[in-house]
Amino acid sequence: VGARGMDSGIPRRCVGGSPPRCSRGRPPWQRVGNTDRLGGPHGLGGSLGQRRLFRGPSSPVVCPPGWPCRWCLIAAFLSAAEAWHNHTPDYDGIFTNVIVEVGPTGNYVAFTENTSNAEVLPAGTPTMYLGSTMDGCDGVVVVAGALDQSMFRRLGSRSAKALELSRAAELFVRWLDGERGGLNISGKRYAMEIFFVGDNSSELQTATATARALRASGAHFALAPYSSALTSFSAMQARADGKVMISAGATDPSIFEAGTGVFGMLPYSEDKSKNIFGAIVEMAGLNDAGKGTTSDVLPCGGSCRANLRYGTMGTCTEPMRRIGAEVFGILPEHEPLTDESPEGAIRSSLERLRNSRVNILEICKLEIKALKVVTGLMEELQFDVWAIIARDIVTGESFYADIQGGWFQGENLFGGVPWLSSGRSRVGAFSGMSSKNFTDRFKLAFTDTPTYLAAAQFAGLCALGASIEAAGSLDPELVEGQLSNLTLPEFYGNINFGSDRQIVIPHFVLQSGNQEDMKVVHPFAAATEVNNWVFPRPTFKVSRCLYESQECSGRGSCASDGKCVCNEGFGGVICEFKINKEASYTVYIVVPLGCIIFMMCLCLIIIPLYRMHRRHIARQREHAMQELKQAIWDQNDTRTIEASNELWVIFRQETAASGHMRGMRVDNVIQDLQKEVSMEAGVSVAYLLSEEFLQLAQSRSGMEDPTFRDLQASFWLGPNPIGGDKMCPRDRRLGCALIDTLPSEHRHSATHFLSWTWSYKLSMVRAALENWLGARGMRAENVFLFMCFFVNNQFRILLNSEVVGAQDLENVFETNLRRIGHCVALLDTWDQPEYLTRVWTIFEQFVVSKMGIPVSVILPPEARKRLLEEIDRGKPGILRIKDALSKVHCESARAFLPSDEITVKALIEEIVGFEAIDRHIVRCMIAWVGREIETHMRSLVDAQHRETARVLELHILPRPTTMLSLVSEPRSTPARSPRVRRSSIPMIFGRTRSAGSQMPTSPRARHAQGNRRAPESEPSSATPSELFDAAGSFGTQGPTTGQCNSL
């Protein structure tokens, strides 16, 4: 993991001869083992080379003599780790960067700009370094490029094929530096190192990743990523930087015709079609001449060649169809389909092709899942063709596993490939390897069998190395000239680039069988057996019979109707038993009946157990999904990997239990959960009330108390937008919502939906929320608000105009409101509030009421104080409040975006109309004021009760010492005074409820009666304890009025 310098693009560890070494083992900067970015072993197995961050400014650690090797390794690791932690690109100047954006029609558009800024990549972009120790080198040739390094690689995806390219590059570096002794450039030995930067298989990222790889490593030459789409943009960046590029994953000729410097190791995809079409035409001619292998169940009748009719379905390009028209002499019928096309559309396309009498069908760019649907429907429709062409499918990783699993319709498909491990026996002039040698080395290193992609990558690096040695220089123009005139025999083929810098080699035509090894059927000289091809292919009925009966158990053959014709002496559906005429009753009646009874009993036992097992797996999957979602909420990468591995194991169990592959993949589940978490998240009120957010708003806006509308420009429209460099989990593009940038303690599932406007000042929102929490007794860190300022992706709304608020109203507003279950309406004031002049908030209040969602209306402290003062004025104040809140005119309400105002008002007119919604909002506001009056009156009554209790405590209870004496002293009078009713408040004012006294009728009488006292010489006959009991009792007769007043 040592740092690397920029001394003429040569790493410092090769300057001045051999690198410093410990007393034993590897150099101190060389990492042992292969780990991914998160520190664990890679999920797909095999070696991925060494991963590291971009290089830092430090040099390798030179250990003092006598140091133990362990100390030397620790010192080197700490030095390098510090450099990588504080890494910055250490190159400057003006560069030409290729910028890729999504065009107005959804396609990708690229343009260039000259800038001195460093390339911007998403946080956590992985890198990969491939290199081996080579003592005494005179320099290093650095090759760099963009390549997907995703952790989860779906079979057949771009990332899985990018893995094969990286493995081939790693194998080449090991062989070149470790066995061949590097490159001989003008008598000097040069090692080779390869540096990759992850492009996430994204057209939007691949050019930037290529620029970073080339410049950060000081590369001399470039390697292209996988696929023609990615290579087209990566090649533009390589040309802009003046680098020669080798491409082993692209076939589109426009990439290589666009300019110089880019060489392709894969031949034209149209050449593959020419070879396959030519092979079929030649086979048809041999059948007509009686020299072929015409099937007995679908003979051509001596006119195969004349009756060939070509058709296509899928996403076949115009050049492919044009070549088919040239070969077969007729413009093909075409049915456009994709992997997501519904079954009904596929059925209709097949019916049209069948009605057009197509018998040579080419299926373009469909995955195996879709291809299985197509072939299944062809059998159902009895659409039997003579040949099915699936050019790239027959070389896929899971193709033969599906055939072994019962997909017999996949047999006898035609495909093409430029290289096979058993195809050519020549030995490479530069590598000294044959195809078998290369295959054995690849299997030994990575346990997997290489495909043509790995061979093309290895051979391309061989071509680059041979051209460098022939040029005797690292000058890109000289090396490009050698590549253009190169003729290099290699195990991959005779490497010779045409005038458009794309290799010219023939394809092998393959035909799938029911065995794991595919058959080479053309050219005939390369075929493993003479006439081992099948043309025309059997009907689907015959194919099913061949598969299910295994050619009728070797005791018969399949007829054209798909049934077995047994040899003499054998019988049964698949000729499974020998016929005994004397035991025909037992064979035909007793045995089948016994088998049926046995199977029924077995099903009664197995089916319940199977269902229990499925339910158990479903519960495990649900638990694992919850754990994974919680790990995403907590932003815990380690726990995310553990939960995803657990979920992967459960998917494997479900696959084994159900017998078919699940459509759900772990990486898709993670992306869906990340999107779900982002959509459900709310911002913590604690964060809104924190000094951190206050300082962020003030520093960004330059204002002491900004409105949220003032924050819009500084947060998202300025030169350093918040979240602009982070990938959005909702659409996997750069630029995320503000909520996705917050740590886990300030971001969780929303508990309240906040209805408000962006014109509010920050201090007013903070004061209202703080007052609301205090009144409800809630903790700020436990309340999370669905607040549009934070949760909506403002990059899409403000910058790209992709999401218009009103158009997404029902899907976002109502869905989230129903999920959250509580709404908080924030009003700035009760007297002509801004809230009732905005069309959005008026409509939100209507929808909340219509859905029956509870709503809390909150005010800032000063506004609430003024409201209570008006209430205390009585009827005039209440009428003034009613008049202020009744001024709702939805038709004249406004919105920030004119398009939103038009759309929302149109929606209101469609649903209920302006007058109805005005009346409804007024009723809601008046109901809220009524609740406020009730709450205020209740608080006044509670305050009076508390004051009454205080008066009772002061006037009824004696001193504490006297109360203690009440407990300790015995009563002097055995008789107890009668109790009074428990009504302390009337007693304080001189009124009693006793039967022997009457209530004074006039105020003067009541005053006189209330002022009568007992004589001072005659104290009350009741003890203090009894008087206390009398004052607090319910339901019994009490003392006289004079006694109460004396007390």
Average pLDDT over residues 152-175: 80
pLDDT digits (tens, 9 = 90+) for 405-438: 778 888 888 888 888 776 666 889 999 999 889 9
Query: Residue 302 has what pLDDT?
Result: 59
The better pLDDT of the pair 29, 960 is held by: 960
Q: What is the pTM of this model?
A: 0.49
Average pLDDT over residues 692-703: 91
Query: Residue 845 has what pLDDT?
Result: 77
Beta pairing partners, 855? 823
Query: Residue 102 has what pLDDT?
Result: 83
Distance of CA 1043 to the CA centre of its chain: 82
Is the per-residue pLDDT at 641 higher than 60?
A: yes
Collect all residues with Cβ–Cβ distance below 8 Å to 901 and sequence separation of at least 6.
Answer: 839, 893, 894, 895
Average pLDDT over residues 357-383: 87
Query: Residue 973 has what pLDDT?
Result: 42
Query: Residue 417 has what pLDDT?
Result: 82
Average pLDDT over residues 570-596: 73
168 touches 458 (CB < 8 A): yes
Average pLDDT over residues 926-931: 76
Query: Residue 811 has what pLDDT?
Result: 59
Is the per-residue pLDDT at 1041 higher than 50?
A: no
Confidence tier at 866 by pLDDT (50, 70, 90)? confident
Q: What average pLDDT is seen over the chain?
A: 75
- Any idea which residue has 């509870």 for tokens? 854
Most confident of 270-274, 723-727, 1041-1045: 723-727
665 touches 154 (CB < 8 A): yes
Closest CA to 828 of 839, 818, 841: 841
Confidence tier at 893 by pLDDT (50, 70, 90)? confident
Confidence tier at 288 by pLDDT (50, 70, 90)? confident
Q: By mean pLDDT, which of 91-100, 294-303, 549-558, 783-792 is the weakest?
A: 294-303
pLDDT digits (tens, 9 = 90+) for 97-142: 888 888 777 788 888 787 766 678 888 888 888 887 677 788 899 9
pLDDT digits (tens, 9 = 90+) for 68-98: 665 665 665 555 545 444 444 555 667 788 8
Is the per-residue pLDDT at 442 higher than 90?
A: yes
Query: Residue 984 has what pLDDT?
Result: 39
Reduce the DSSP state of residue 336 to 3 states and report it: strand
Query: Residue 117 has what pLDDT?
Result: 65
Query: Residue 242 has what pLDDT?
Result: 92
Is the per-residue pLDDT at 528 higher than 90?
A: no
Query: Residue 467 has what pLDDT?
Result: 95
Beta pairing partners, 904? none
549 touches 562 (CB < 8 A): no
Collect all residues with Cβ–Cβ distance below 8 Å to 241 and sequence separation of at least 6.
Answer: 95, 96, 211, 214, 215, 222
Confidence tier at 460 by pLDDT (50, 70, 90)? very high
CB atoms within 10 A of CB 571: 19
The better pLDDT of the pair 518, 713 is held by: 713
Cα distances (Å, whole numbers) of residue 406 to 165, 372, 547, 552: 31, 11, 8, 17
What are the helix and strand counts (H, E) for the chain? 35, 28
Average pLDDT over residues 15-37: 33
The better pLDDT of the pair 52, 341 is held by: 341
Rounded CA-CA distance 992/998 in Å is 8
Is the per-residue pLDDT at 311 higher than 60?
A: yes
Is the per-residue pLDDT at 476 higher than 80?
A: yes
Query: Residue 36 has what pLDDT?
Result: 33
Confidence tier at 657 by pLDDT (50, 70, 90)? low
Average pLDDT over residues 13-42: 33
Closest CA to 857 of 881, 880, 873, 875: 881
Is the per-residue pLDDT at 1015 higher than 60?
A: no
Label residues 410-426 b or e (16+ Cβ within 10 Å = b). Answer: bbbbbbbbbbbbebbee
Q: By mean pLDDT, which of 57-61, 318-322, 693-697, 894-898 is the weakest?
A: 57-61
Query: Residue 812 has what pLDDT?
Result: 67
Most confident of 421-425, 482-486, 959-963, 1032-1036: 482-486
Rounded CA-CA distance 678/671 in Å is 11
Confidence tier at 293 by pLDDT (50, 70, 90)? low
Q: How many residues does the chain have?
A: 1047
